[in-house]
Amino acid sequence: MQPNQHLRILTISSMLMLVLSIYMVFVYAPLEIVMGAVQRVFYYHVASGWIGALAFLITLICSILYLATRNLKWDHVALSSVEIGVVFTSMNIVSGSVWARPIWNTWWTWDPRLTTATIMWLLYAAYLMLRQSLENPQRRRTFAAVYGIVAFVSVPLTFAAIRIWRTIHPVIIGSSDPSAEGNFEMTPPMRNAFFFSLFTFTFLYVTLLWHRIRLEQLTVQVAAMQSRLLNKLST
Amino acid sequence: MPKPANSQRPQASFWRTVQAIMWKDLTSELRHKEIVSAMFIFSLLVVLIFNFSLELDRATRDNVAAGVLWVTFVFAATLGLNRTFAAEKDRDLLDGLLLAPIDRSALFVGKMLSTFIFIIIVESIVVPLFSLLYNMSLFTPLLLVVLVLGTLGYTVVGTLLAAIAIHTRAREIMLPILLFPVAVPVIIASVQASAGILEGNALGNISGPLNLVVVYDIILFAIAIMTFDYLIEE
Amino acid sequence: MINIHSLSKTFGLKPVLRDINLSVPKGGFLALLGPNGAGKTTLLRIVSTLSRPDAGEVSVAGLNLSTHASAIRQLVGVVSHKPLLYVELTAEENLRFYARLYGLVTAEPRISTVLAQVNLSAHRHDLVGTFSRGMQQRLSIARATLHHPQVLILDEPYTGLDQDAAIMLDDVLRSVSTAGCTLLMTTHDSARGLALSQRVAILSRGQIAFETRSIRLTPTQLEDKYREIVNA
């Protein structure tokens, strides 16, 4: 399988967009007056959180499709999306923590969003461990699909449960709670940088997903070739 | 073409199957008592360890009792859930259940209810003991409702994931890793509701967490029924 | 009764069954021979609905396996090398449990009948954990025939049986066969398979290598044929 032209174009354009988004986040967007430079974490923090959620939603959809159709490609997408989602969720949690140190004066707080993100990370780490610990490939795919569904459904319930404690996490988009610490109003350049980051990360997600699915398909092909070769040698 | 020959043959109804599986599990347990006794002893050990590690004196006790109680039950229940399919799996008996013309979700419900009964038995011994040891009354009807609903939700999702964990390498380790993050909502909500009750709040004040427990029970039960088929076939 | 049409099954990437075509008529008795690893157990697991085929069609009593699995389960009884019995329950309790799973309404007289058939009436109230391997296998036959199956699938049923139990199993198989039950059995004991069955087939490397009417062969001829195929 030759790396196809579309994928190459996608890879190059997402690299260019990433460079442009770095420029927008660090140069184009103005300095926030109250929080200072650390506010710039916000652009990538939200974007990576968004990709985490999107990736796990894709896994949910592909898990359902896999159970319904038993088509291997859905399992490849589900697995690839979890791996990418876990990486972006980790970035989301770490960048949030970096921002929280100067703003909330602590690395960590048991706020609903932070806690939910962490539990979400644990859920999908468990998903990957589950796949590791099943030998039978058919069973691995089916069980992972079921867990992919159960895990995703539990996330909003987790958020609701932790919501029982009061939140201090700022809500930048939509209604803003004045009591939240670290709130700010976005100026138009900030908004441009923010939405461009979101767009870039989504683009990057699609590129990475495509690469990862291709890798998975190549793995399957290599295994099939190996087994054909072994069968030929044995007969 | 021969017509489907089973038309005059009785097929086991859903509830008859559930009852048969529960009867079998409960009879086995009555003879061996290994699951209930292990969960019970383990619960006592957890309570004991909490006592030493938290210095449960009068003042702190009131604040943490609900948490201690739930953590104890969650840990103990995990032991029981690990055994839900273990006997059948280890002695190659799953085929016997799968060969039978039964509704697969009846198998799930039967297994889930047996484990639920085992856990409730342990809770109904530990709760009075806990009251006795710490000289605090846990016998409000509302608390018992929360105990039953929370345990039900945990058992539903636990039974589903036990059916997964049973086929993994190192399955005793895999079950809590799979189960705890999924069970977080029902544990938090149950602890919150129980703590509210122990502080003397009325039903109105704990309706938030209590509703969440009920919603969790319903949603996870629906998912379990829909996906269990996929977990037991080959 | 059993129709298998171009059935294939792979485990991971390893083909276990390749393009199997086989049929057993109503009331027929097919003995399936073959070395370990030839795919006999897999084939039987597919016919008994425990495993799903990757390709091909299987039907039992005119019912398609992939769409009517539950109806087929009601018609099929299975004896495998696993006894599928609960050691902490008595013989009677085991049968009662399975009778409930199969929806048997008047279970008690039927339980007595099958227990008598396998000569275990005296041990009705004994725990299965105290049974010898042969006794467990006999009870396993009682379990498999409990719900009047129209098809009986037997995977190496003679494994672990002593001489008396083996003769008793011969009798049980003959009587269910005469009663019109369709039988599909794997065995290592080619002479016994030949004597009991109407047709024999040899499965080798996932393919049916040979099939004929049992009456056409002497045990020695079958042995020779078997060796020729397996060592080819």
At B62-82, the pLDDT tens digits run: 778 888 999 999 999 999 999
* A34 part of a folded domain: no
A149 touches chain B (CB under 8 A): yes
pLDDT in tens, B161-201: 999 999 999 888 999 999 999 999 999 999 988 888 888 77
Tally of domains within chain A:
1
Q: Do C48 and B99 touch (CB under 8 A)?
A: yes
Distance between CA atoms of residues B114 and B108, nearest Å: 10
The DSSP code sequence of chain A is -PPPHHHHHHHHHHHHHHHHHHHIIIIISPPPTTTGGGGGHHHHHHHHHHHHHHHHHHHHHHHHHHHHH--HHHHHHHHHHHHHHHHHHHHHHHHHHHHHHHHTSSS----HHHHHHHHHHHHHHHHHHHHHT--SHHHHHHHHHHHHHHHHHHHHHHHHHHTTSPP-----SSS--TTSTT--PPPHHHHHHHHHHHHHHHHHHHHHHHHHHHHHHHHHHHHHHHHHHHHHHH-
Structure tokens at C15: 């083909």
Residue closest to C187 by CA, chosen among C205, C160, C162, C212: C160
Strand order in the sheet with C182-186: C76-79, C151-155, C182-186, C29-33, C199-204, C207-213
Asked if C114 and C164 count as a contact pair (C-beta separation under 8 A), the reply is no
Residue in B95, C107, C99, C130 with CA at minimum distance from that of residue C120: C130
| Confidence grade of residue A206 (pLDDT, cut at 50, 70, 90) | very high
Contacts of residue A223 in chain C, CB cutoff 8 Å? 13
Query: What is the spatial distance between Cα B101 and Cα C190, in angstroms, rounded to a whole number?
Result: 32
Asked if the structure places residue A152 within a domain, the reply is: yes
Q: Which of A100-104, B23-27, C34-38 has the highest mean pLDDT?
A: B23-27
- Predicted confidence (pLDDT) per residue in A155-202, tens digit: 888 888 887 755 456 666 555 555 566 677 778 888 888 899 999 999
Q: How many domains does chain C have?
A: 1
Domain span holding position B108? 13-232
Return d(Cα B22, Cα B182) in angstroms, integer. Answer: 26
Q: Which residues of chain B make contact with A150, given a CB cutoff of 8 A?
A: 157, 160-161, 182, 220, 223, 227
Question: How far apart are the C-alpha atoms of C213 and C232, rounded to whole Å?
Answer: 22
Cα–Cα dist A28/A21, whole Å: 9
Tens digit of each residue's pLDDT (9 = 90 or more) over A54-103? 999 999 999 999 999 999 999 999 999 999 999 999 999 999 888 888 88
**Higher pLDDT among residues A107 and C78, named by residue:** C78
Determine the pLDDT at residue B150. Answer: 96
Is A68 an 8 Å CB contact of chain B? no
- Domain enclosing residue C141, as ranges: 2-230
Q: Say whether residue A153 is in contact with chain C using an 8 A CB cutoff.
A: no
Structure tokens at C56: 């091909």
Looking at residues C171-185, what average pLDDT do you find?
A: 90
C124 residue type, one letter:
R
pTM: 0.90
Task: Select from C71, C74, C93 the Cβ nearest to the Cβ of B27.
Answer: C93
Q: Tell me the C-alpha to C-alpha distance, in Å, between residue C20 and each of A235, C9, C66, C209.
A: 19, 10, 17, 10
pLDDT at C37: 81
φ/ψ of C207, rounded to 5, equals -135, 150
* CATH number of the domain enclosing C156: 3.40.50.300
Q: How many domains does chain B have?
A: 1
Per-residue confidence (pLDDT) for residue B3, from 0 to 100: 37
Contacts of B13 in chain C (CB under 8 A): 103
DSSP string, chain B: ----GGGGS----HHHHHHHHHHHHHHHHHHH-HHHHHHHHHHHHHHHHHHHHHT--HHHHHHHHHHHHHHHHHHHHHHHHHTTTHHHHHTT-HHHHHHS---HHHHHHHHHHHHHHHHHHHHHHHHHHHHHHHT-----HHHHHHHHHHHHHHHHHHHHHHHHHTTSTTHHHHHHHHHHHHHHHHHHHHHHHHHHHHTT--GGGGHHHHHHHHHHHHHHHHHHHHHHHHHH--
The residues, ordered by sequence, that sit 6+ positions from C11 with a Cβ below 8 Å of its Cβ are none
Contact B81, B162 (CB under 8 A): yes
Residue indicated by tokens 């039953």: B148
Residue C37 gets the label, from left (phi > 0), alpha (psi -120 to 50) or beta, of: left
CB-CB neighbors (< 8 A) of C45 in chain B: 234
Identify the DSSP state of C127.
B
Alpha-carbon torsion (B129, B134, B135, B137), positive or negative: negative
| Strand, coil or helix: C144 | helix
CB pairs under 8 A between A and C: 9
Structure tokens at B51: 């006592």
How confident is the model at residue B2, as a pLDDT? 39
Mean pLDDT in residue range B133-149: 87
- B and C: number of Cβ contacts within 8 A: 95
Q: Is the pLDDT of residue C10 over 70?
A: yes
- What percent helix, strand, coil does chain C show, rounded to 5? 40, 25, 30
Residues of A in contact with B208 (CB under 8 A): 164
Tokens of C229: 């195929």
Tell me which chain B residues have a C-beta less than 8 angstroms from the C-beta of C126.
none
Q: What pLDDT is stored for residue C218 in this prediction?
A: 83
DSSP category for residue C215: G
Q: Does A231 touch chain C (CB under 8 A)?
A: yes
Please report whether residue A173 resides in a domain. no
CA atoms within 13 A on the CB side of A70: 7
CA trace torsion A32, A34, A37, A39 (10° rounding): -70
Domain that holds residue A195: 5-23+39-168+187-234
Does residue A31 form part of some domain?
no
CB distance B223–A149 less than 8 Å? yes
Q: What is the mean pLDDT of chain C?
A: 88
pLDDT of residue A104: 83
**Whole-number pLDDT of residue B4:** 41
| Interface mutation vs chain C, best among A67, A227, A233, A234, most C CBs within 10 Å | A227
B6 located within any domain? no
At C39, the amino acid letter reads: G
| CA C87 vs CA B19, C73, C77, C94: distances in Å | 20, 24, 20, 9
Between CA C226 and CA C190 the distance in angstroms is: 9
- At A158, phi and psi to the nearest 5? -60, -45
pLDDT digits (tens, 9 = 90+) for A125-149: 999 999 999 988 889 999 999 999 9
- Mean pLDDT value across residues C8-12: 82
The residue among C106, C41, C50 whose CA lies nearest residue C76 is: C50
Do C203 and C22 touch, CB atoms closer than 8 A? no
| Interchain contact A223–C (C-beta under 8 A) | yes
What does the alpha-carbon distance between residue B102 and residue C73 come to, in Å, rounded to a whole number?
9
> ipTM of this complex > 0.85?
yes
